[in-house]
């Protein structure tokens, strides 16, 4: 059976070989075993269930919470000549009937269905009468109540074991720490599943974190290397989303806003433009992204801190699914640290949950202030130990210096104690620097022994110290007292001189120029053939009503430029060209390539 899967891989999908653990996963599913598959975004999870679904008798059911994505997924499969359909609440009754009928008569190879839909008694009853090849449960971490994507409907999926005995089930996810893995297996009632855990690393994503000084200028500088790229810029509030998008348009970017305050129609239109046109930048609240399957997103920028490491990993993971070089860029500052700390304290969750939230926030802030390879610490957070630095993050490329901040931190902490631990960052820094302010005068702070003991530092330097102390748990912004800074047990030890403290210098030099780890798209972007191929792709995409990458990925176009195929057989040897796509689009692209050959002969 695995031979059939291999043949489908090359003939239908146009891929030369399995990627990562795909082969092992597929073998397990073909053998009828339950499996848990953990692969990073872009790792190739879809093939893990699609191939056994195609090889085994009957229809494979794919449970997915991403209703918005189903239509695109099915269209992409149809482009490959695979018979697929979906069932969800957005369809009219007649369509749903037709799809159900197609499953019953065995016409469908793959059926995508939302969990709430699958669990309806009549759907279950109907599918039980059909021949089911496999049940894949995508985004399986949605079953975890501790995760940030919890879906109530996922909890009901354990009944699939009794309803479909003997049908192998496969749970897939890109994010699951060891505890969540066990929870998935338990809650989905998988039967002695084989676990396939691939690393979390996304080596093609370069991580960069900078201190927020002038957000817009920093964003612009970052985007100067991404002039014609598609990307996502995350902001915290709707207002800043709108303002940033408008401003980017003034700067000549094709930028669109996306947030829950827009009408459903506007949101859909903007998402559609992002998917279908080249080089669109979406400025969004976190509402955007889940359900975006665009492979050629070249960057993700965070203008504000994300909620947690998990959220950060997931949001940045939307970049570079096609394995080409991509960048994750984030800026943050003292204000973000204070704001998030307040939010964590303010939430009305129970104490246990609050502690977890607090812990997650600390992990995120600690990561921002990292002095070691960001990839290593990111992976370590997910339980993956690395011994080597990555060479592809800001810290590896430009290691920040550290300094002994023990004495200065002591000065700052004493100043907080002397002013009664009642004030926020601004006033504490003013007192340290000995500024003559109304507030200092009215509170009698000018006569304190700490008044002016920090005159040797600028505002920015003190803010940096404060931010790092907060991020490392030496200080706490007390919500009950309007964000007043208060000491913690560790800072008392520091004050008593029992421990010393190393802090990092805030980087001041512009971030390192990026170098791409793969032959750059930019270098071939100069080639006239590149433009011609992209134009042909866009035309076909529009004619078929699909995004360009559903026709061919950039990688396929690049191979066309490198190899200049002149026959169908040569085309077929390229990545991402299978039988169905060859028949549909081969002739068009051969023509474009031949025309380019002629024009270079004339030129040369």
Judged by the rule CB under 6 A, the positions of this chain that interact with ligand ADP are 15, 18-19, 22, 39, 41-47, 295, 321-322
The whole-angstrom separation of Cα 459 and Cα 457 is: 7
Q: Which does 393 bind (CB under 5 to 8 A by kind): Zn ion, ligand ADP, none?
A: Zn ion
The whole-angstrom separation of Cα 75 and Cα 95 is: 16
Q: Which does 431 bind (CB under 5 to 8 A by kind): Zn ion, ligand ADP, none?
A: none
Task: Please tell me the total number of residues recorded for the chain in this structure.
Answer: 604
CB 4 within 8 A of CB 55: yes
In the complex with ligand ADP, which residue's Cβ is closer, 68 or 511? 68
In the complex with Zn ion, which residue's Cβ is closer, 117 or 375? 375
In the complex with Zn ion, which residue's Cβ is closer, 40 or 65? 40
Q: Which does 276 bind (CB under 5 to 8 A by kind): ligand ADP, Zn ion, none?
A: none
For residue 536, which of 501, 561, 509 has the smallest C-alpha distance?
561
**Cα dihedral sign, 317-30-88-148:** negative
The whole-angstrom separation of Cα 241 and Cα 286 is: 11
CA distances from 230 to 237, 255, 280, 281, 338 (A): 21, 10, 5, 5, 32
| CA–centroid distance for 122 within its chain | 36
The least CB distance from residue 2 to ligand ADP, in Å, is 14
Beta-carbon contacts of residue 354 (< 8 Å; ≥ 6 apart): 344, 345, 347
The least CB distance from residue 602 to Zn ion, in Å, is 48
The whole-angstrom separation of Cα 366 and Cα 360 is: 10
CA distances from 391 to 315, 370, 446, 506 (A): 22, 15, 49, 20
The least CB distance from residue 347 to Zn ion, in Å, is 33
Q: Which does 47 bind (CB under 5 to 8 A by kind): Zn ion, ligand ADP, none?
A: ligand ADP
Q: Which does 41 bind (CB under 5 to 8 A by kind): ligand ADP, Zn ion, none?
A: ligand ADP
In the complex with ligand ADP, which residue's Cβ is closer, 45 or 463? 45
- Which one of 170-178, 193-201, 257-265, 375-383 is the stretch in contact with Zn ion (CB under 5 A)? 375-383
Instruction: Choose, by CB under 5 A, the member of 255, 257, 344, 393 that binds Zn ion.
Output: 393
The whole-angstrom separation of Cα 523 and Cα 526 is: 6
Instruction: Choose, by CB under 5 A, the member of 375, 445, 463, 581 that binds Zn ion.
Output: 375
Q: How many residues bind Zn ion (CB under 5 A)?
A: 6
The least CB distance from residue 44 to ligand ADP, in Å, is 3
CA distances from 596 to 150, 537, 561, 565, 589 (A): 52, 15, 10, 12, 11
- Which one of 57-65, 75-83, 170-178, 367-375 is the stretch in contact with Zn ion (CB under 5 A)? 367-375
For residue 178, which of 362, 26, 381, 358 has the smallest C-alpha distance?
381
Query: For residues 104-119, b (16+ Cβ closer than 10 Å) or e, as one string?
Result: eeeebbbbbbbbbbbb
In the complex with Zn ion, which residue's Cβ is closer, 376 or 558? 376
The whole-angstrom separation of Cα 185 and Cα 403 is: 47
Per-residue contact flags (x/-) with Zn ion for residues 319 to 358, judged by CB under 5 A = ----------------------------------------
The least CB distance from residue 434 to Zn ion, in Å, is 40
- Which one of 25-33, 373-381, 456-464, 575-583 is the stretch in contact with Zn ion (CB under 5 A)? 373-381
- Which one of 119-127, 191-199, 366-374, 472-480 is the stretch in contact with Zn ion (CB under 5 A)? 366-374
Q: Does 411 bind Zn ion (CB under 5 A)?
A: no
Region of 599 on the Ramachandran plot (φ > 0 left; ψ -120 to 50 alpha; else beta): alpha
**Cα dihedral sign, 290-265-252-534:** positive
Query: Phi and psi of 242, rounded to 5°?
Result: -60, -45
Q: Which does 45 bind (CB under 5 to 8 A by kind): ligand ADP, Zn ion, none?
A: ligand ADP
- Which one of 369-377, 415-423, 489-497, 590-598 is the stretch in contact with Zn ion (CB under 5 A)? 369-377
The whole-angstrom separation of Cα 337 and Cα 511 is: 22
The least CB distance from residue 397 to Zn ion, in Å, is 8
What three-state secondary structure class fits 410?
A: helix
For residue 281, which of 312, 250, 305 has the smallest C-alpha distance?
250
Per-residue contact flags (x/-) with Zn ion for residues 87 to 126, judged by CB under 5 A = ----------------------------------------
In the complex with ligand ADP, which residue's Cβ is closer, 42 or 115? 42
Burial class (CB in 10 A: 0-12, 13-18, 19+), 277: middle
| CA–centroid distance for 33 within its chain | 30
The least CB distance from residue 199 to Zn ion, in Å, is 15
The whole-angstrom separation of Cα 352 and Cα 525 is: 53
Q: Which does 188 bind (CB under 5 to 8 A by kind): Zn ion, ligand ADP, none?
A: none
Q: Does 396 bind Zn ion (CB under 5 A)?
A: yes
The least CB distance from residue 336 to Zn ion, in Å, is 23
Q: Which does 558 bind (CB under 5 to 8 A by kind): Zn ion, ligand ADP, none?
A: none
Burial class (CB in 10 A: 0-12, 13-18, 19+), 571: buried
- Which one of 85-93, 301-309, 384-392, 410-418 is the stretch in contact with Zn ion (CB under 5 A)? 384-392
The least CB distance from residue 126 to ligand ADP, in Å, is 28
The least CB distance from residue 37 to ligand ADP, in Å, is 9
The least CB distance from residue 45 to ligand ADP, in Å, is 3
Q: Which does 396 bind (CB under 5 to 8 A by kind): Zn ion, ligand ADP, none?
A: Zn ion
Instruction: Choose, by CB under 5 A, the member of 76, 233, 280, 373 that binds Zn ion.
Output: 373
CB 183 within 8 A of CB 144: yes
Binding region for Zn ion (CB under 5 A): 373, 375, 389-390, 393, 396
């Amino acid at each position: 059976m695995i031979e059939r899967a291999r043949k489908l891989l090359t003939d239908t999908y146009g891929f030369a070989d399995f990627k990562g653990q795909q082969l092992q996963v597929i073998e397990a599913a073909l053998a009828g075993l339950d499996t848990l598959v953990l692969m990073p975004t872009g790792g190739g999870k879809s093939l893990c269930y699609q191939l056994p679904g195609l090889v085994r008798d009957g229809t494979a059911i794919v449970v997915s919470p991403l209703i918005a994505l189903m239509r695109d997924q099915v269209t992409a499969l149809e482009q490959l000549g695979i018979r697929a359909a979906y069932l969800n609440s957005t369809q009219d009754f007649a369509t749903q009937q037709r799809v159900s009928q197609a499953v019953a008569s065995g016409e469908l190879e793959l059926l995508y269905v939302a969990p709430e839909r699958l669990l309806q008694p009549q759907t279950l009853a109907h599918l039980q009468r059909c021949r089911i090849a496999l049940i894949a449960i995508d985004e399986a971490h949605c079953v975890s109540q501790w995760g940030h994507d919890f879906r109530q409907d996922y909890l009901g999926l354990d009944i699939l074991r009794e309803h479909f005995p003997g049908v192998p089930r496969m749970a897939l996810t890109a994010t699951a720490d060891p505890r969540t893995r066990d929870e998935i297996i338990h809650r989905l009632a998988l039967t002695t599943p084989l676990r396939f855990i691939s690393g979390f690393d996304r080596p093609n994503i370069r991580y960069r974190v900078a201190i927020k000084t002038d957000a817009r200028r920093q964003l612009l500088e970052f985007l100067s290397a991404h002039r014609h790229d598609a990307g996502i810029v995350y902001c915290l509030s709707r207002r800043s989303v709108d303002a940033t998008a408008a401003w980017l348009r003034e700067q000549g970017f094709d930028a669109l806003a996306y947030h829950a305050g827009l009408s459903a129609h506007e949101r859909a239109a903007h998402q559609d433009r992002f998917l279908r046109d080249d080089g669109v930048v979406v400025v969004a609240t976190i509402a955007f992204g889940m359900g975006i399957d665009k492979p050629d997103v070249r960057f993700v920028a965070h203008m504000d801190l994300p909620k947690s490491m998990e959220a950060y990993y997931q949001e940045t993971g939307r970049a570079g699914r096609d394995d080409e070089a991509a960048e994750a860029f984030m800026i943050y500052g003292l204000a973000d640290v204070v704001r998030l700390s307040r939010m964590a304290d303010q939430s009305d969750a129970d104490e246990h949950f609050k502690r977890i939230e607090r812990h997650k926030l600390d992990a995120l802030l600690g990561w921002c202030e990292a002095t070691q390879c960001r990839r290593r610490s990111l992976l370590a957070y997910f339980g993956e130990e690395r011994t080597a630095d990555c060479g592809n993050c800001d810290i590896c490329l430009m290691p920040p210096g550290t300094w002994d901040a023990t004495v200065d931190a002591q000065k700052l902490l004493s100043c907080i104690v002397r002013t009664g631990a009642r004030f926020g960052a601004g006033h504490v820094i003013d007192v340290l620097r000995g500024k003559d302010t109304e507030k200092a005068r009215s509170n009698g702070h000018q006569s304190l022994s700490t008044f002016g003991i920090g005159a040797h530092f600028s505002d920015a330097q003190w803010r940096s110290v404060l931010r790092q102390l907060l991020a490392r748990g030496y200080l706490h912004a007390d919500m009950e007292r309007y964000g007043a800074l208060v000491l913690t047990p560790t800072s008392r030890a520091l004050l008593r001189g029992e421990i010393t403290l190393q802090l990092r210098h805030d980087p001041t030099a512009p971030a390192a120029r990026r170098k791409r780890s793969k032959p750059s798209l930019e270098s071939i972007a100069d080639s006239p053939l590149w433009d011609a191929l992209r134009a042909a792709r866009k035309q076909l995409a529009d004619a078929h009503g699909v995004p360009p990458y559903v026709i061919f990925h950039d990688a396929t176009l690049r191979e066309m430029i490198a190899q200049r195929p002149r026959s169908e057989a040569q085309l077929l040897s390229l990545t991402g060209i299978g039988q169905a796509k060859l028949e549909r689009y081969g002739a068009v692209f051969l023509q474009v390539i031949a025309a380019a050959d002629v024009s270079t002969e004339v030129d040369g």
